[in-house]
Amino acid sequence: MRKTSVLAAMLCFSLCFSVAHAAVRFNGQDYVPIATWVRANGLHCLQLRRGDEIFATSRTTRLVFDVKSHYAEINGVQVALSFPVANQKGVALIAQFDLDTTIRPLLFPGRYITPKTLKTICLDPGHGGKDTGNRTFWHSEKTYTLALASELSDQLKKAGFNVILTRSKDTYIELPDRPALANRRGADLFVSLHFNATQIGRDQVKGPETYCITPVGASSTNARGEGSDHGSTIANRAGDESLLFAYQVQKSLVQNLNMNDRGVRHARFIVLCNSKMPAILVEGGYMTHPVESEKIYDATYRRQMAQAIVKGILAYQKLTSPPASSAVLGANKPVGHLNKASPRKGSP
Ligand SMILES: [Zn+2]
């Protein structure tokens, strides 16, 4: 066997554009072949069969899909999908819902985002007072969310933003009162700050997670007692902006702090549901991880984390300031839907 043939056999790959093109109904959702959508949007597609991974690339964009996975890697950042990537008779499929609510708003933000100048940012240090948040040994989450918020507030003010804090002391604030303050004061962005904990895999589980509001009609990434709530909230009006905001902050945290990427995720947390402006909740790492926890308790590291969040905010600002730049994440112009999908705001 020739050397090239051996290599091809080892890699066991096939070009995606050899697969079928029709949209299908699958698990109660409209699914389309990834290859068809990718090619229609000017990307090249390669399917690696052994790992069930599908790569789609252009000069400026790299997408990675994995069959049966609820995540897509978009330019190096893990982003939760509402429905898993599927494989039907060897054809990799993605839900039209995820193309509409997640992939397209991130790849072509200029088409989906309402341009707005950012002036005021509301920071929400999680927990406080009688609500300690996660506790490990003598460390309480509420202490470090406030410390990070104070550092972030200083840095954002230096960058020229007005900053509102939902609490500046160790006080208890009801959850609905936090976004209510941001709404009342006309904040342009809302950032809730938390640190995470797990009882399973404490030595392994680490890294940030950044949450934005769950799209209408989907389940949350981690449904904590939300049951089958698929409904709409006031926050869904800024759903595309919140997704892009979460993406930019998660990307900055992962890249600038070299952290393990646990992804952009969806949730209907009260602080997200009730916010009128683009809103995210940052879980800045795990207090239960032996190494990451020591970093969280270190002021120098929290300063670096605040710098990374500021960079994420500035990257979001660059993408959303008027006049809006289009297709900044991906250089290619999007094309129409492959099948019927609800019209999106800002679509030409
Ligand atoms: Zn928390």
How many angstroms does the Cα of residue 166 sit away from the middle of ligand 1? 14
Q: How many A from CA of 314 to the centre of ligand 1? A: 25
Do the Cβ atoms of 54 and 69 come closer than 8 Å?
no
What pTM was computed for the model? 0.87
284 C-alpha vs ligand 1 centroid, how far in Å?
Answer: 10
**How far, in Å, is the centroid of ligand 1 from the Cα of 77?**
23
Tell me the CA–centroid distance for residue 178 and ligand 1, in Å. Answer: 14
The DSSP code for 129 is T
Buried b (16+ CB within 10 A) or exposed e, 197-215: beeeebeebbbbbbbbbbb
Distance 140 CA to ligand 1 centre (A): 10
Return the closest-CA partner of residue 282 out of 245, 336, 311. 245
Q: How far does residue 116's CA lie from ligand 1's centre (Å)? A: 29
Q: How far is the CA of 203 from the centre of ligand 1 (A)?
A: 19
Do residues 152 and 309 make contact, with C-beta atoms less than 8 angstroms apart?
yes
Q: Write the burial class of residue 102 (CB in 10 Å: 0-12 exposed, 13-18 middle, 19+ buried).
A: buried
Distance 343 CA to ligand 1 centre (A): 36
Q: Which residues contact 98 (CB under 8 A, 6 or more apart)?
A: 72, 81, 82, 83
Angle between helix axes 299-320 and 141-158 (nearest 10 degrees) is 50
pLDDT in tens, the chain (348 residues): 444 443 443 343 444 444 445 688 888 899 999 999 999 999 998 877 666 889 999 999 999 999 989 999 999 999 999 999 998 888 889 999 999 999 999 999 988 888 899 999 999 999 999 999 999 989 999 999 999 999 999 999 999 999 999 999 999 999 999 999 999 999 999 999 999 999 999 999 999 999 999 998 888 876 554 555 677 888 888 999 999 999 999 999 999 999 999 999 999 999 999 999 999 999 999 999 999 999 999 999 999 999 999 999 999 999 999 874 444 454 344 433 333 333 333 322
How far apart are the CA of 331 and the centre of ligand 1, in A? 37
Radius of gyration of the chain (CA): 21
Ordered DSSP codes for 211-268: EEEPPTTS--TT-SS-TT-----GGGGGHHHHHHHHHHHHHHHHHHHT-----EEEE-
Distance (Å) from CA 192 to ligand 1 centroid: 9
Ligand 1 center from residue 304 Cα (angstroms): 20
- pLDDT of 49 reads 63
Q: How far is the CA of 193 from the centre of ligand 1 (A)?
A: 7
Q: How far is CA 94 from CA 100, 249, 279, in A?
A: 11, 25, 27
| Ligand 1 centre distance from Cα of residue 125 (Å) | 9
Whether 267 and 282 have beta carbons less than 8 Å apart is answered as no
321 CA to centre of ligand 1 in angstroms: 31
Going from the Cα of 252 to the center of ligand 1, the distance in angstroms, rounded, reads: 21
Ligand 1 centroid to residue 210 C-alpha, Å: 12
Closest CA to 50 of 87, 11, 88: 11
Cα 282 to ligand 1 centre (Å)? 9
